[in-house]
Structure 1
Amino acid sequence: MIDVALLSVIRRSHIREGQSIRSIARKTGLSRITVRKYLNNRNLDPSYPARKSPSKLDDYEKTLTCWLHREVKKHRKQRKSVKQLYQDLVQLGYTGSYDRVAAFARQWRQEQHEAKSTAAKRVYVPLTFAPGEAFQFDWGEDFATINGRKCCLQVAYFKLSNSRAFFLRAYYKQTHEMLFDAHNHAFRVFGGVPER
């Protein structure tokens, strides 16, 4: 979207001065398609740059943001109200109005809510791990022939996430004792216990 000044240059050059689309495109640095689009669209509302008016709250925004983060972590009945936060700001020297503080708190809460709702869409599993950071464990079932008899074995699978080193240990049953024994042997072979 182009700004108001450039739009007025395009329209003035074409309507008042009678310049061609090609010469306007050359003068403004825009493509001919863009110039034609803005000349043909009569209902086009130009965009104004976003204005940031100075506020008395500007010097206290970081403090108020920290307080809001702190209050969100508390139980609902133990949280301070926005009016109490405003009174705390006044004690620090804030001379602005309560309405500005309330509007800031509302906007901050809305941004936090939007961030939470979109966070689930941006979740990813890291594919790189530090040495000793994580390991994976699972039980599996496999068949083996022992003394000429085919039997079903429960196999404990361990894999380090960084080096992909693995450890297997087979048992006849899948019990808590076997689970603890498998972990004990795996950590002994790996030379330590991963963080997670």
Structure 2
Amino acid sequence: MLIVETIAKIRREHRDGKPIKEIARDLRLSRNTVRKAIRAPEADFSYERKEQHRPQTGPFRERLDELLAENEERPRRERLRLTRIHDLLEREGFTGSYDAVRRYAARWKQERHAGGSGDMSKVFIPLMFRPGEAYQFDWSHEDVEIAGKPMRVKVAHMRLCWSRAPFVRAYPRETQEMVFDAHARGFAFLGGVPTRGIYDNREMSR
């Protein structure tokens, strides 16, 4: 179950008169976490916990492991962005969010490079976003056919974190000029500029 759905369930059961102790027991949460979910303002709840469990990828976990491992073996310039991996999973029936894939991939990468002993003791998890608070931006490469000729293009992906509204635009390559152009067109299409951006590629966000 998604975290946002868990919060909604906590609040719904509390409104129906279910005691906090029983809610915490049934959902395997601490009573303090349940109280915080109930008392926090709408769309403004987050918490820090000692252990970050794997995002819920369900029966697609093995497939996601396979895609991540294959991607890791690719030359750096040919690696798929996480948005592309999420799209591939969706085509195979995956109904989870991009955030679930992103969090799983981050944990997978940390465990792979740290021999499975990554320290996840301090993980801050944003559970909800306010309208206009943030957007996600990433690139993927796609093989297309234009005028009968196969070619590879770079595709800019922008998505609002609150509404999940998407913007996608293809370019012949990924340059700084095209990064700026994709942002300008994306903000114009979505009708405004969110407060902050979330990037998978740290170099691109600098």
For the aligned pair, the TM-score class normalised by the smaller chain equals: 0.3 to 0.5
Normalising by structure 1, we get a TM-score of 0.38
Richer in strand (by share): 2
Richer in helix (by share): 1
Bigger-Rg structure (1/2): 1
Normalising by structure 2, we get a TM-score of 0.36
